[in-house]
Structures are given as structure tokens and as C-alpha cells.
Amino acid sequence: MKFWKYHGLGNDFIVIDNLDGSISLDNKTVIAMCHRRFGIGADGVLLVEKSSIADAKMTIINSDGSIAEMCGNGVRCFAKYVYDHNIARNSQIAVETGAGVLDINVRTEGGKAVAATVNMGKPDFAADKFSSYKDGAEIINMPITVEEKTFYITSLLMGVPHTVIFTENIDDDFIMHYGRLIERHPIFPRGTNVNFVKIVSRDSIMIRTWERGAGYTYACGTGACACVVAGITQGLLDDKVKAQLRGGDLLITWKDRQDVYMEGPAAEICEGFYSNCIK
């Protein structure tokens, strides 16, 4: 099976052309492909599929085999693939995702896409869509207890569910320990992405993300958007913020509480043929 491998700030993906609809991947195959010792190695798989409402449809499968509605770094990689492979050779590309159709402006150099600005849509704080809370509740700066430690969380949908915690501690061991626990906290029946944020200034933050279904990743685009939205909502940040992730920087803009815009790079790593040699 032919594949390409892309990354957005170290958040890496196996890209598979399924425009003819001939490819069907089960959980076992995806997990095997994404294995970093016995497979290609990736945070997830992006299927390039036909769309009746956009230039192409992106189906995202996490490294654990679960389906994700959206991925910010993934959609930039997807747009690069679509542009570079002449599926949609336009500066603006429409991509169908599980969270709706996204408009993406592609920046090119030498005839190749190198970066993209994505209209990520409006954030949604309605907690009944991603938590056990009902009746129009919102989760903003709310305390929860995990192993006798109290965290103040803000949760929202940015295509996928995100929980944001402002903290001074963004050490790897801290993130990995508490990220996996908060991901499956009882108030999130379907899980949540968990973002730990250290504020540098009103226009700069450092983010470390434990992703639902993928673990501790180098970058999370939807997570960066959620962190900036949470910071602005609480009066901590300005409307244009540099988000410093493990794999590099994104520029996030949220003006007048309207659509969120994410700007960042996308790169191709390699291409090849996958042979399922795992027993």
C-alpha cells in the first residue's frame, strides 16, 4: 500500500490516497502502521477521500485506532498533500472533516505548499456535547480533583474536545502522568484532549498536550486554538498569540469572539510502500 508521511511541528501522520474508495483500514492495521518500532510510526493516519461538498475529505484515525473529528496539524498536512498532488491546485482549499468544512489558505514556495492558515471555526463551550454536564452548563476555570491534586480546568469543543489547564509546571513527567488521568476523568465519558499551558506574556504561551487517542504529542493545532480561546475568555491573553509547542510555533488569532484562525507549517517527510509484517 502506497503511503506518504507528513508532519506539522512534529505531529506526524501517515497519509493514504483513498480517492477511489478501495482502502478500508481496521483498528489492528492502523495500530500496526503507527507503531514506532515495528511500523511506519505516526500519531495517526489521514485518509484522502472524495467529497461532494469540498475539494477533498479528510478522515483521521488516531494511533490507537479511534476516529477523530478534526486535527489542526493534520489538516495543514492534508492541505499540503491535496495541493502538491494537484487534487486542488488553489491558494484556498476547502476540506471536509468530521467537524465540518474548513477553509484553508495555502502558502507556497517553489510550487509546493509549505504552510497554511486555517479557519478553525467558532469554539463551543456547551459542556453537554463533550461531558456529563447538562442543561447549558459550561466548564470554565472549574476545579476537579485527580489523585488528591486540584486542577482548575476550562473545557470546550474546538472541533474535538479540549481541556485547558493554566500552570507553571509543564515538565514531561507531570504532563504524562496527569494527562492520561484527566483524559479519562469520569466527567468526560468519551475522553478529552488535555492541554497544560504556561503563560509567557499576553501574546505568548507554552503548551504541552496529552492527546486523546495518541498520548503525549509534539504539537496539537486544535489544542493551541483551545488554549488561546480559554486564555482570552478568562482575560489572560490578547487576541493574537504565539503558541510555543514542543515541535515549534503556531500563530493563533481570535478576534471579536468570532472564528479562530491557526497559522503554521506542514512538511513531507517521505513516501513508500507499507508491508504488514507484524505478527
Supply 121's cell numbers.
471555526
Q: 3-state class of 30 per DSSP?
A: helix
Set 34, 71, 77, 227: catalytic member: 71
- With vertex at residue 23, the alpha carbon angle to CA 21 and CA 26, rounded to the nearest 5 degrees, is 130
Instruction: Look up 220 and say whether it is catalytic.
Output: yes
Q: Are 118 and 52 in contact (CB under 8 A)?
A: no
Q: 3-state class of 150 per DSSP?
A: strand
Query: In whole angstroms, what is the distance from residue 18 CA to residue 50 CA?
Result: 8
Cell 495518541 locates to 214
* Eight-state DSSP code of residue 126: -
Task: Report which of 53, 52, 99 is spatially closest to residue 75, judged by C-alpha positions.
Answer: 99
Set 34, 77, 220, 227: catalytic member: 220
* Eight-state DSSP code of residue 115: E
H-helix segments, 71-202: 72-84, 172-183
Query: In whole angstroms, what is the distance from residue 136 CA to residue 269 CA?
Result: 44
Instruction: Look up 77 and say whether it is catalytic.
Output: no
Instruction: Tell me the angle at which helices 72-84 and 221-233 cross, rounded to the nearest 10 degrees.
Output: 130
- The partner residues of 264 in beta bridges, in order of sequence, read 116
Q: 3-state class of 253 per DSSP?
A: strand
Q: Are 264 and 221 in contact (CB under 8 A)?
A: yes
Q: Which residues are marked as active site?
A: 71, 220
